[in-house]
Structure 1
């Protein structure tokens, strides 16, 4: 017997024994998981932290500029905030602004309060605050609450006050609307699929316990390192989806085995010993894909992968232990395989049409313009844009090393920048105490996410002499977008290579592995195209709660790609395991595809509908990254389970026939790690899974 087949049998035996033990001692397992969740959140209360966005990346131009400011202007190098005061009935009273400056100077962490900048009509004043502590020094909404307390007197006087800048944008808000919508939709779908409250509740309960455990781990991680503010939401979104998926597969297999088993523990063991192997492999593929996010070149961005890694790992473990404890479509493939060329070409054309808008993709991490109008950050953004111009929301901070740049060069550079058509304002330089450094602000003519703003930044960096550094949030975001765009191809190569290798090892079928990788690339391209059409072109963006078109978040393409590749492998493994089982039993390539897809159609369709419902729930989130991820993943799963799994997979497998399972030379063997042998298996408490074939 080949080593992969032996490895599969060993894994199946271990998981079978685990399933039997969990099914015979259900209350101990359930109590154990409840204790794990309780301990996890107990640790969160003592050593955990809250997520925060820290975009410092060693070697990135904006980071170099910020490091210079840290050395030369320590009082200006940490976080910032903007206070926008607006009077709808007339000019903002100067006396009120003077009093407000005094009150703002007393706010914890504030090191500098700039003089108010007045709009041309005098109706709006903009006050810049500089802090000597990072944004992460404030837990939750502490920073904004302190500002709100300081401005309360003038608000009572009838003036409108809104907040922008890093302190306001970095507020942590963990809403549960997306999760609740997805869970409710999942329960409804499962009730329809199973017709049983118990069977419908098992996958949901398992997913929630797994997600709760993973969520606690994410917050514990935040106590030791920076974790992105939207990473927990992304992790929860994926965790709920895959958790229900994995549990659904196990419950389905348990229900199949129960009538032919000696009891519940026996059926649970057999389900864990067969479907559990697929769960472990599929979950491992998701985890490997997520770790590739580290190749994006931005440490904060990698925390999306770490957070989701913890949650998916927890739900995977919960699935293979809790499901056994809690247990204590028509023949569509035949239609496709009858005319594989026509169906295959039609599916390919649809995918390419969906992918076409991807050519026009433009990315930007995020800005306040994409926030809902109920958010003070968005209202501050709109007031600044209407009163001072769109570029007032996208200033570049220019740090000047006076040991390298003379006063004449400094003043000449400022004069040149002021004469540029794409610059509307250049402030006077501010020197530090020993005049070894200075700093001034350049305000472009366009909004932060406008492509022209990035062009202006590049021109400014090219025009200024050595010893001048452009930094600030807009340069940070521009640098981050460029780095992620450059690293996307590295991530694609690594993830695709690993997926092909793992599938080849699992099924001993390199043709199937390569075909799966190509199909996933097509699904990813089609998903990106739909995202561009909806968000960047604005096709129906109002239905998602956005006022207009926005660029694609820089985080989204790599996140969608890695998560889509990982999740789609779930379906690939579930389907191919059954197809391979039929192929080994009958050696009929066409009928093995038909029977394999028939036997998995119900569970795959139910799982996909649940995934789509969960992800669409997150599309209602106010955070633009979470919204795009939710919508994008819903589109990706829909494309994967319809065009890919229902059309391209059976069509291509029918065309390739026996070549699907080709393996060169001496590498050929009867089975792979996840390939079923087609033999009958029985389970005994004493001996575990035993092969009863001749």
Structure 2
């Protein structure tokens, strides 16, 4: 009896003890989180970049500089009263942590732009996401009937995740499960287990926040992934349990056997997800560390819930997990228990169709994936700014007002920091005049010297917006051809540019690590060289296709209006690495589920081609249902207002849909049919050794 069988048997025999143990765990974790957990806090430092070096210089030589910033915009149809403008300046200067306030009136006098600077960084808990003081300081303008809008760095942190993504995903998943199982009890069980795991995971994330900076976005990403895999893992075990009930097993025995067989696939799938998430640490940003650890904690919790709560609930529910009409028919007709033969289903017929012409079908699948992935070759990445916020938000209104009245570049000024130990004042003045005269510069402020006389600082505004490709090119040319040694370009726009460049470089490091470790893990699980390499290649194809879909939707605007995005925008720099790490693990979930069934059949029969048909037929229904649920969950998150969450939702949903259809239903059976017994080739190991190494079947 293997350990998973013993675990399933113990929890199924003692369901109330299992529930009590979980309740104690949840209470204890909640108590520890309340006592020792920390507050969510972003860390936006970008180590070893030029923009970060400039920020560090400002913090060192300007006592109150290097902190956050905000924009307050007031607008009216006629010329603004100077007394109101002066009052707003005075009130803003009196706001806590504000060091300087500069005002700028538009040419026609109907708009005033206030640049507000703080003495603490944006991520400081005293100001992060808190914009009420800015609204309070603008009361004089509101009382005068002026339009007041907030934009820039600090107000951008006040965007909240509404939480409707989780609700939509859960409701759609419940509806799909009711249709699939024909039983409300069976449908609700996977969702209840996933939610229980998420509760434990949330406490774990708060405990993590007591040890390190955890991004405010990390719980959303963790919930998105945890909800999807939690339902999938529970669904797999419930499906196997119901199959055992139909075969005539007692509910307790059925739960134990389901945990022993499906639980092995859950463990393997969970490990691949965890490996992928650990690859985020190689991205080079503290934010990604938080994403990886928080999501990993959540995945571990939902995996533990699936392996313990599912068998307990299955045993407690008994045969109520089967459809009502099936239970009634069995009771009235006293029909004998039956073992369903999946080889007669539509999945088996489809796989046989693919297996008859595997080369042709493989080419069709490759063509589809490569065609969808082609737009990704032209993907442009850039962190988002206020111009990508939804219509109706104050940050978007402020962005549009600033663009109309002052030019798009005023939304993202660039700060130039000159080290006076390397340049004298004459050289600084010459550089100031030279930069101000560039065609790409719309506005330049006077030079300010630090109190210790070590730095000279001034701001410039490009003629284009922070997100514009021309701004990226201008920044690169400025650094390469104009700025001498000892002068750094920093501020909002350069930091975003450095983040984008860093993540583009680190993407390949993350990809290499995740693919290598995942392939090695699958080699151990399946004792094969070909299967892991083929699985990795197919996962890369489906992820590339998902990148192409995201590029088409957001960068080219294909259907983006349906998501509340009113114009084409670059793909967020945060998305590609995060998508890859999550998707590679999720794709391996389905690969492990499928290959476990195929390999078990091959070991039993020695029929390499037939095992593909039977293995896919036995798992096709559950994988399709799991994928449909996962797609529903991710599309639910695509309805959130945050653009990055929208992109992740669309990309993850597209990849899972392609993975469960084009890859699993076409490319996998076609390639495995072509390879035959070579699928299971391992250097120095014969099939007889494989059979000897196979665990004894569960009695």
Classify the TM-score, shorter chain: over 0.9
Partner of 1:250: 237
2:327 is the counterpart of 1:310? no
Match of 1:62 among 47, 51, 70: 51
Match of 2:520 among 501, 504, 517: 501
2:421 is the counterpart of 1:403? yes
2:129 is the counterpart of 1:110? no
CA contact (8 A) 1:488 1:558 kept: yes
Mapped to 2, the partners of 1:559 and 1:218 lie a distance apart of 18
Mapped to 2, the partners of 1:225 and 1:154 lie a distance apart of 41
Alpha-carbon displacement from aligned partner over 1:185-206 (angstroms, at most 9, x marks no partner): 0000000000111111111011
Partner of 1:265: 252
2:698 is the counterpart of 1:681? yes
Partner of 2:679: 660
| Displacement after TM superposition at 1:102 (Å) | 1.3
2:79 is the counterpart of 1:91? yes
Partner of 1:370: 388
Please, which runs of 5 or more residues in structure 1 have no aligned partner?
A: 1-11, 683-694
- TM-score normalized with structure 1 length: 0.93
Mapped to 1, the partners of 2:133 and 2:112 lie a distance apart of 20
Alpha-carbon displacement from aligned partner over 1:23-76 (angstroms, at most 9, x marks no partner): 222223223333433443444444434434332122111111110000111211
| Displacement after TM superposition at 1:654 (Å) | 0.8
Partner of 1:4: none
Match of 1:353 among 368, 371, 376: 371
Mapped to 2, the partners of 1:432 and 1:672 lie a distance apart of 76
Give the RMSD, CA atoms, in angstroms.
1.9
Alpha-carbon displacement from aligned partner over 1:638-680 (angstroms, at most 9, x marks no partner): 110000000000011111111111222247664499x965x64
| Displacement after TM superposition at 1:496 (Å) | 1.0
156-165 vs 600-609, which deviates more?
156-165
| Displacement after TM superposition at 1:512 (Å) | 1.0
CA contact (8 A) 2:129 2:157 kept: no
Mapped to 2, the partners of 1:272 and 1:101 lie a distance apart of 66
2:596 is the counterpart of 1:577? yes
CA contact (8 A) 2:50 2:490 kept: yes
Mapped to 1, the partners of 2:492 and 2:207 lie a distance apart of 27
| Displacement after TM superposition at 1:386 (Å) | 1.2
Alpha-carbon displacement from aligned partner over 1:156-179 (angstroms, at most 9, x marks no partner): 321111112222112362421000
1:81 to 1:38, Cα distance in 2 relative to 1, 3 A: farther
CA contact (8 A) 2:389 2:396 kept: yes
Alpha-carbon displacement from aligned partner over 1:121-146 (angstroms, at most 9, x marks no partner): 21211111111123233368762012
Please, which runs of 5 or more residues in structure 2 have no aligned partner?
A: 316-344
| Displacement after TM superposition at 1:267 (Å) | 1.6
Alpha-carbon displacement from aligned partner over 1:313-353 (angstroms, at most 9, x marks no partner): 11111111111111126122111111111111111111111
| Displacement after TM superposition at 1:105 (Å) | 1.6
Mapped to 1, the partners of 2:249 and 2:609 lie a distance apart of 34
Mapped to 2, the partners of 1:67 and 1:139 lie a distance apart of 21
Mapped to 2, the partners of 1:113 and 1:635 lie a distance apart of 46
Q: 1:652 is paired with a residue of what secondary structure? A: helix
Partner of 1:599: 618
Mapped to 1, the partners of 2:266 and 2:691 lie a distance apart of 16
2:535 is the counterpart of 1:516? yes
For 1:118-133, list aligned pairs within 5 A: 118-133=105-120
CA contact (8 A) 1:580 1:676 kept: no
2:195 is the counterpart of 1:236? no
Partner of 1:36: 25
- TM-score normalized with structure 2 length: 0.92
For 1:63-82, list aligned pairs within 5 A: 63-82=52-71
Partner of 1:544: 563
1:603 to 1:221, Cα distance in 2 relative to 1, 3 A: same
35-44 vs 442-451, which deviates more?
35-44
Partner of 1:338: 356
Partner of 1:443: 461
Mapped to 2, the partners of 1:195 and 1:184 lie a distance apart of 16
2:643 is the counterpart of 1:635? no
Match of 1:618 among 617, 634, 637: 637
2:164 is the counterpart of 1:177? yes
Mapped to 2, the partners of 1:445 and 1:583 lie a distance apart of 65
CA contact (8 A) 1:52 1:135 kept: no
Q: 1:137 is paired with a residue of what secondary structure? A: coil
